[in-house]
Amino acid sequence: MRKVLFVGNSYTYFNDMPTRIFEPMLRAFGDCKVTAITCGGYRLEQFADSTDPEGQRLRKAAEDCYDFAILQDHSLISVLEPQNFENGAKAVVNLLQNNVKNFILFATWGRKNGCETLAELGMTCEQMTEVVAKEYQRVGTKLGIPVAHVGKAFVRYAESNPNAELYYEDFHHPSKLGSTLAAQTILNKMLEQIGINDKK
């Protein structure tokens, strides 16, 4: 049985993505169990903190062993605090490395065009997505961890399906379709890592 652990915040737990969307996709390839340790607005560095309630919850979950851990940081930290993003990712990997065989970084998307945060950053959705992708790839390369580029998948999907809505009404969380695209992108990266072709 494959065991998968998700660590992240609302970008991960919206629409119950790990258990309601991702797990049924993964089950098509065999028996599996998905666990999610998530909390709104959280950063990876908080999950790594042994004094933090969520950090303690992660340590409890880490008493089990997992085939994969999917790590997602705060949506702005890779843009505004790249060193803290790197430090947080490294700290969580170090915490889990004895109980997790493989890691994947879940690179998120830029805010939807029209979001006030984008105006404050002086970016478009596509520009923010590219910055996030580059930082996740930089950290992934440094730590030797593959990256599931969900943000880039959002951009490609939007270009091909201009009427599709990938965002919730708040302009930054994912819609059900967005969460489904995230789950499929993560699954594709996982299958790539274990050498399974999902094209049946």
User: CA of 185: how far to CAs of 118, 142, 148, 152, 160, in Å?
Assistant: 24, 22, 6, 10, 16
Mean pLDDT of the chain: 96
pLDDT number for residue 154: 98
Residue 148 lies in a domain: yes
Q: Is the pLDDT of residue 199 over 70?
A: no
Query: In the chain, pLDDT over 90 holds for what percent of residues?
Result: 96
Q: Is the pLDDT of residue 40 over 50?
A: yes
Exposure string of 110-125, with b = 16+ CB inside 10 Å and e = fewer, is: bbbeebebbeebebeb
The count of other CB atoms within 10 Å of the CB of residue 18 is 24
pLDDT number for residue 194: 87
Residue 82 lies in a domain: yes
Confidence of residue 195 (pLDDT cuts 50, 70, 90): confident
Q: What is the mean pLDDT of the segment spanning 120-134?
A: 97
> Which backbone phi and psi does 120 adopt, to 5 degrees?
-65, -35
Q: What is the mean pLDDT of the segment spanning 60-74?
A: 97
Q: What is the mean pLDDT of the segment spanning 126-147?
A: 98
Q: Is the pLDDT of residue 196 over 80?
A: no
Q: Is the pLDDT of residue 193 over 70?
A: yes
Q: CATH no. for residue 99?
A: 3.40.50.1110
pLDDT number for residue 150: 98
Our CA angle for 135, 136, 141, nearest 5°, is 100
Residue 199 lies in a domain: no
Long-range pairs, 128-132, Cβ under 8 A, ≥24: 128/79, 129/154, 129/155, 131/78, 131/79, 132/75, 132/78, 132/79, 132/107, 132/108
Which of 105, 179, 101 lies closest to 145 in space, CA to CA? Answer: 105
Domain count, the chain: 1
Domain limits at 131?
2-194
Residue 147 lies in a domain: yes
At 165-176, the pLDDT tens digits run 999 999 999 999
Confidence of residue 197 (pLDDT cuts 50, 70, 90): low
**How does DSSP assign 120-140, residue by residue?**
HHT--HHHHHHHHHHHHHHHH
